[in-house]
């Protein structure tokens, strides 16, 4: 019965990417949410949204994400200023918002997507407000959110790809050791041993896949040397272990 497989038997590890990212979000977003609740200025929630979408797990990708969101927001603001000046009535704003919503799903890349999201958000938000002020607020909150995201991703539980790769290698080594320790004495019962082996094999596969994705996402000059050899050794161990286990 594979419903008995258990994948959460380890204690929380501060080196784990998901735990570090979750802690960073709590530490950074909570004050932003409290600030937006207490300081109920118009559109202050844009700051929280900007921080949330620019706070990505890996430190190395933060600058690219911030740059794309800032430039996309600036492009959207320029488009809004042009369209709102030419078409100031409510009906035209609804049309602009509708077209922008369609373009969000047709855009290629994060920057253009942000530009159309900006147009959609501002189309109705600025109906009863001063258009230049609303556009300026959008830009200011985006810039502030970018600064907060850059600082937090760098100094608050940062996740660096090479260190995360080393951590995954340690987990894979630990799984190999656990597999070699499974026996009739340590894990009595054929059914219990089979489920324990299945659990470790599946966890090993998931971790290997995550390590490969990290390796592929690194720039060519920053790729982990010897990664392919380490992966082949690990897969060779699993193949040898399963051959002996199934014999």
Give the single-character DSSP code of 12.
Answer: P
pTM of the model: 0.79
Which alpha helices (H) appear in the chain, and where do they start and end? 17-38, 45-54, 62-86, 90-106, 110-125, 131-155, 161-181, 190-217, 227-246
Q: Is the pLDDT of residue 3 over 90?
A: no
Phi, psi of 84, deg, nearest 5: -70, -30
Chain segment 123-166, per-residue pLDDT in tens: 877 777 788 888 999 999 999 999 999 999 999 999 888 888 88
Separation between Cα atoms, residue 99 and residue 120, nearest integer Å: 8
Q: Are 200 and 237 in contact (CB under 8 A)?
A: no
Separation between Cα atoms, residue 34 and residue 49, nearest integer Å: 13
């Amino acid at each position: 019965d594979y419903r008995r497989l258990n994948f959460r038997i380890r204690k929380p590890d501060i080196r784990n990417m998901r735990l570090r990212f979750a802690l960073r979000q709590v530490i950074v977003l909570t004050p932003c949410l409290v600030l937006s609740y207490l300081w109920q200025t118009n559109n202050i929630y844009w700051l929280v949204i900007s921080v949330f979408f620019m706070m990505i797990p890996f430190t190395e990708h933060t600058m690219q994400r911030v740059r794309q969101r800032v430039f996309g927001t600036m492009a959207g603001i320029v488009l809004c200023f042009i369209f709102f000046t030419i078409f100031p009535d409510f009906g035209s704003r609804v049309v602009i918002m509708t077209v922008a919503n369609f373009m969000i799903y047709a855009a290629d890349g994060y920057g253009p997507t942000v530009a159309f999201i900006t147009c959609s958000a501002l189309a109705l938000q600025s109906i009863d407000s001063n258009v230049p002020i609303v556009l300026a607020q959008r830009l200011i909150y985006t810039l502030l959110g970018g600064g907060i995201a850059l600082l937090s991703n760098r100094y608050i539980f940062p996740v660096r790809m090479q260190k995360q790769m080393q951590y995954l290698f340690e987990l894979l080594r630990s799984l190999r050791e656990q597999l070699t320790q499974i026996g009739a004495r340590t894990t009595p019962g054929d059914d219990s041993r089979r489920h324990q082996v299945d659990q470790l094999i599946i966890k090993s596969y998931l971790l290997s896949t995550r390590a490969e994705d990290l390796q592929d996402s690194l720039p060519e000059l920053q790729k982990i040397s010897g990664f392919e050899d380490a992966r082949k050794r690990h897969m060779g161990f699993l193949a040898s272990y399963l051959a002996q286990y199934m014999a």
